[in-house]
Structure 1
Amino acid sequence: MPNLKAHYFNLKNIVVVFTSLVFLSCASIQTPQGGPKDKTPPKVLSMTPKNLTRNFNAKKIVIEFDEYFNIQDEFKEFSISPDQERPPILKKRQKRLEITLQDTLEKNTTYTLNFGKAIADVNEANVVKNLSYVFSTGPEIDSLSVSGRVSSSLTNETEKEVTVFILPVERDTLFGKKRPSIYTTTDSAGNYKLNNLRKGSYKIYALKENSGGGDKVYQQVSDEIGFIKDPIIIDKNLDNINLQVFKELAPEFRVMERKLNADGSILLTFNQQLKQPKLTVMQPAAVDVGKRVYFNKTNDTAKIWLSDLSFDSVKVAIQDQGKVLQSVNFTRGKKDTYTRDVTIADNITGGKLNPSQRYTLTFPFPMIDADPSKITLLEDSVKRTTFQVLKDSVDFLKYYIIYPWKTKKSYDIKFAAGSFTAIFNAKNKDITKRFTLEPADSYGTLALKVEVPDSAKQYILEFIDEKKNPIKSFVITKNTTVNFAKYPTGKYLSRIIYDENKNGIWDTGNVKLGAQPEKIWYPATDMSLKANWDREEKLVIIATPPQIQESTISPPRQTSPNNNKEDSGIREAPNSLRKN
């Protein structure tokens, strides 16, 4: 006879398990799938006591939001001004933020709680920007404000997400040591506003931190800084207090990076641009013989190739203008081996060779020799042998292929293995380069008549591309005409550096010395070049550049083209300067 009791209990167990699974699946909270991404930060529904409360005497402040939120980087982002020895405690309760005040409040004082970027929603981390809560323990609330705009001293473009803060003059010694308690961040247009300030004398700063920062404490190695040298007196609302941020040069020389590469070369990176650099192997002195040193254009990076790699360790002295700045040591294992891949780069852009340039080959190692017999040049698939292989007289990383290149012809250059030999007998592998010669009428020329406001001063005119990368520069001391001849067609701009110390370069500022960067002005003249056109423009350098220059570009004037065709009436649309 079947065991009915056991059967009943088994059925009961199945029902219980099934019911539990259904309940759990219904009760579990699932992240909604699909739909547009949430870009809206939490909104404040209420503040208790109300914001801007006078005669404040509460111990707890409650801010309610319309959604769940997280508190992130509290110790970096949240602050109270004036500072308190025991800072407030922040806790989240569902959709409410509770701030418990631990310290006794001063009488007749306005307090500002600044949350920075501490409050963000749960799902997408959308930040409530510049959230603050203000109250006064007396009958009045400090209501003064300072506002302005922050831009880059180099590009002149406005800067977003930059921290602007003030320090009472008597507390300015805390700069770079402790995060400020009175601060705000710039909006997408670079504007800022500091509210609820009390009368007093302050120093004002703008801090652009690198991606790894966020503590609102200036780090010279990585951050950009802007400041006004003299204190600002806040006894009324101040507008147009504009600041420009810059990357300060390191006050003391330091080697940022040093390593022995896998190919046996030595890499050194400095925190300063050297003027007359020199590297010497001090120990063992014999290794210094035959070394090759290559500095980049800004003299802040160097690469050393030693002909003798049998050393256990070497000591390299870094000098500038005859003075030893620092010595560094390198060690290698006796069984270390090195891999050298002799690649070949060239100056072909978009498959085209600039007709005003030589065909240039660049190598990653100092080159010793070239074997033209292993190089095959094809012009429209026809072999040519009248080319020359020429080594650069100064740059040991470069060779040139000399040939009367022709337009409307296609070129294939086959470099067989061993065409070039580098140090340590390293050789290239098989590689083929293909290009055509760009017609000369694809380039344009600009004659720029420059007028200076003061012939006793010096200016630097830089010809720059759309990304504000310098292409060519001229030192200007008097009224003159400069020619930008045979440059590729495209949009170009210029900038003027007011070279106060007449050293031919742009000098940045120094916070400790209170020195601002040398001023830069971006003229509104668009210097775009059109194919086969010669342009003439006039540039009158203004005596004093505005701090933040509008980026409106005027349409260019065109003269008759090189081939005397009828003027086409070419006009360029206004262009906004874009950040590099």
Structure 2
Amino acid sequence: MLLLLGCAKQSTPQGGPIDEDPPNIISQYPENQSINTVPEEIIIEFDEYIKLDNPSKNIIITPRLDKDKIITTALKNRVRVDLNQELEENTTYVFNFQKSVQDASESNPAQNLKVVFSTGPTIDSLTVQGRVNVLFPDRNTNYRDVLIGLYRTQDTTDLFTSPPYYIGQADSTGNFQLENLREGEFLAYAWLDENNTLKAEGKNENFAFIKDTLTITPETEKLLHFNLAKSDQGEFKLNRSTESGSAYQLVFNKGLRDFALQHSTDYNLSFKINDDRVKIYSDQTIPDSLSLQIFATDSILQTVDSLVWAKFQESDRAKEELSVTVASGKSFFENLKMDLTFSKPLAAINYDSLQVVYDSAQFYQITPEMLSFKDSLRRDQLQIQLFVPDSLNQSIFTLSASDSTFQDVENQYNLQSITANFRKLKRESLADEISGSVNTGATNLIIQLLNSKEEVIKELEQSNQADFSFKLIEPGIYRLRVIEDTNGNGVWDPPNFATGRQPELVYYFLDPETQSKDITIRGGWTVGPLVIQSIPKSGILN
């Protein structure tokens, strides 16, 4: 008996049903739908002990209050919200607790927990509803993090500078409804509030806006649609320009999309873009400063058009080594494309030491006709194209370049040899085709076939052509994405809030039965025809 008593332990009794019931309200102040009340705090009592889950994020308050002054606490079975600020006269306030109040034992959230009251004699009852869509969603995109904000037209703030007057939140499918609104004119925005500031970050958060003024009246029912996209909205400018060894460097305040330069001399110039920097090279020293007209464009098509005086002189600084990066490991059928990126623009290539080897004794000799540069002044991105007939049975093809094969504009050579392997696919292992049509009415389209990692495998640029076809595809899981290339520049253009330009629309094929984006294809299969439908533009739909 003594031994048994010594080994005994206290523990929580096991068994019994799991508590699946949400906490229920016993009493609250002010009572829901109260009028002519100006509370200093909100108090809600429940029928069991409760806890709070991130109330600063999960409690949505409209119209706007200063959340930094609000203190929310939970003690036993009571939630208390201290407002610590003045409320507007004749205004309906809504405190939507969503799932922030949960029971203490099993975290079951209180259902439909709202406190609505008015500081005046009536409760505002107008609503606005709609849908949000993220143009380039990733695997972790959560539509519940999308906020919808209404700003009064007389306000001087917007989604980048201050929280909105009215605010709502999308559900998991992207639908939303803002309730208890008053009559008036508003500007409507939406953003993916990943950092919980109740306003959008102009550099790294998806956002959308509606250009037209939203007029809310009892007679009109409004349906809104937002297409969210990410882009750096900051002003674009040239920060500085300076000599960099024997080259000349321009430093901008953010990344560049395009760059061009003009000069009225016989000197041969080239350049290298590295995010927010451009380094300009000359094939020889220049005794005097050279006048250069530069044209730079950022991601939202803001431009810098400036005149700089550049110097290209001898320098004692050690020259940067020439490095080469090859996008290796890709598969191909017949058309082998090899992309090489250099740390500086090239001046010359020794073709004798540049080959594609496919067994120990046989190779293709690379010739100038197989090469192409992205830009005649931007000779740092090189593509080598080679046709390999299906009758050749070897499966591995290796790009081989010895040291000193490539010479840059500063007379530096690649010091290391280069090898990169590519895998040739067999015709019988390939899927025959994915085909379909784009039902949008857009003139210019970019149609992309993506792999499971959202990488572009194949791409078509089409004008006045709705039908598409991708042939001879490696088996796997794919997605189809379409960009409405409104301006025909061959790339997707993001929104520009300052000028009111909306993003070019992007949409995916969705399986009409499962609503999945994934398309599974196997060897010998033909998939299609698939129909890709458009989506509404950002705006007021009715």
Q: Give the TM-score normalised by the residue count of structure 1.
A: 0.62
CA distance in 2 between partners of 1:303 and 1:130 (Å): 59
What residue ranges of structure 2 are gaps of 5+ in the alignment?
A: 1-19, 298-302, 512-517
Distance (Å, rounded) in 2 between the aligned partners of 1:401 and 1:336: 37
1:292 is aligned to 2:287? no
For 1:216-255, what aligned pairs fall within 5 Å after superposition? 216-228=198-210, 229-235=212-218, 240-247=223-230, 250=233, 253-254=236-237
Question: Measured at CA, do residues 320 and 178 of structure 1 come closer, stay the same or move farther in structure 2, by a change above 3 Å?
Answer: closer
Pairing partner for 1:340 from 301, 315, 321: 321
Correspondent of 2:365 among 380, 387, 400: 387
Deviation string for 1:217-261 (max 9, x for gaps)?
344444433233241424279575332223467596435999999
CA distance in 2, matches of 1:182, 1:118: 20
Q: Structure 1 residues 78 and 495, CA, compared in 2 at 3 Å: closer, same or farther? A: closer
**Structure 2 residue corresponding to 1:319, chosen from 286, 295, 311:** 295
| 1:426 corresponds to which of 413, 418, 422 | 413
Give secondary structure in 2 for the equivalent of 1:163: strand
Paired residues of 1:166 and 1:205 also in contact (CA < 8 A) = yes
Contact kept, 8 Å, 1:117 with 1:127, in 2: the verdict is yes
Deviation at 1:278, TM superposition (A): 1.0
For 1:90, which of 47, 68, 71 is the aligned residue? 71
- Structure 2 distance, partners of 1:133, 1:192, is 19
Matches within 5 A, 1:545-560: 545-546=535-536
CA contact 2:249–2:280 (8 Å) conserved in 1: yes
SS of the residue aligned with 1:166?
strand
- Name the SS of the counterpart of 2:361 in structure 1: strand
The match for 1:366 is 345
Counterpart selection for 1:438 from 409, 415, 425: 425
Residues 88 and 364 of structure 1: is their aligned pair in 2 closer, same or farther, counting only changes over 3 Å? closer
- Report what 1:162 is aligned to: 146
Q: Are the structure 2 counterparts of residues 315 and 486 from structure 1 closer, same or farther at C-alpha, using a change threshold of 3 Å?
A: farther
Q: Does 1:136 align with 2:118?
A: yes
Q: How many residues align?
A: 486
Task: Tell me whether 163-172 or 528-537 shows the greater mean CA deviation.
Answer: 528-537
CA distance in structure 2 between the aligned counterparts of 1:379 and 1:511, rounded to whole angstroms: 53
Contact preservation (8 Å) 1:82, 1:112: yes
Helix, strand or coil for the counterpart of 2:414?
Answer: coil
Residue from 453, 464, 468 that aligns with 2:449: 464
Q: 1 CA distance for matches of 2:209 and 2:519?
A: 33
CA contact 1:253–1:325 (8 Å) conserved in 2:
no
User: 1:272, 1:412 → 2: CA distance?
Assistant: 34
Return closer, same or farther for 1:475/1:293 CA change in 2, 3 Å cut-off. Answer: same
**AA paired with 1:438?**
L
**Matching residue within 54, 57, 61 for 2:42:** 61
What TM-score do the two structures reach when normalised by structure 2? 0.66
Task: Give the distance between the partners of 2:241 and 2:171, measured in 1 at CA.
Answer: 39
How has the CA–CA distance of structure 1 residues 77 and 489 changed in structure 2, closer, same or farther, with 3 Å as cutoff?
Answer: closer
Equivalent AA in structure 2 for residue 177 of structure 1: T
For 2:65 and 2:423, how far apart are their aligned partners in 1? Answer: 71
What amino acid maps onto 2:224 in structure 1? I
> Which stretch shows the higher mean deviation, 339-348 or 501-510?
501-510
Answer yes or no: is the 8 Å Cα contact 2:323–2:414 preserved in 1: yes
- Distance of 2:526 and 2:66 partners within structure 1: 69
Whether the 8 Å CA contact 1:443–1:486 is kept in 2: the answer is: yes
1:171 aligns with 2:155: yes
Distance 1:502 1:339, change over 3 A: closer
1:242–1:307 Cα change, 3 Å: same
Is contact 1:312-1:334 (8 Å) kept?
no
Aligned residue number for residue 531 of structure 1: 523
Judging changes above 3 Å, is the alpha-carbon distance between structure 1 residues 315 and 180 closer, same or farther for their aligned structure 2 residues? farther
Q: Secondary structure at the match of 2:224?
A: coil
The answer to whether the 8 A contact 2:149-2:159 is kept is no
Identity of aligned residues (%): 22
- The AA in structure 2 aligned to 1:407 is N
User: Is the partner of 2:336 in helix, strand or coil?
Assistant: coil
2:255·2:277 contact (CA, 8 Å) conserved in 1?
A: no
**What letter matches 1:428 in structure 2?**
L
Flag the structure with higher strand content.
2
What secondary structure, in the 3-state scheme, does the structure 2 residue paired with 1:242 have?
strand
**Alignment RMSD (CA, Å):** 5.6
From the CA coordinates, give the structure whose radius of gyration is larger: 1
Q: CA deviation at 1:345?
A: 1.2
Q: How far apart, CA to CA, are the structure 1 residues paired with 2:119 and 2:255?
A: 50
Deviation at 1:161, TM superposition (A): 0.4
Letter in 1 for 2:71: L
Cα deviation, 1:247-289, whole Å, max 9, x if unaligned, reads 46759643599999999895766768767x41368xxx99x94
Q: How far has the Cα of 1:198 moved from its partner?
A: 2.9
Give the letter aligned to residue 136 of structure 1: S
- Gaps (5+ residues) in structure 1? 1-39, 549-580
Residues 146 and 241 in structure 1, CA contact (< 8 A), matched pair in contact too: yes
Distance in structure 1 (CA, Å) of the matches to 2:251 and 2:406: 27
CA–CA separation in structure 1 for the residues paired with 2:197 and 2:30 = 29
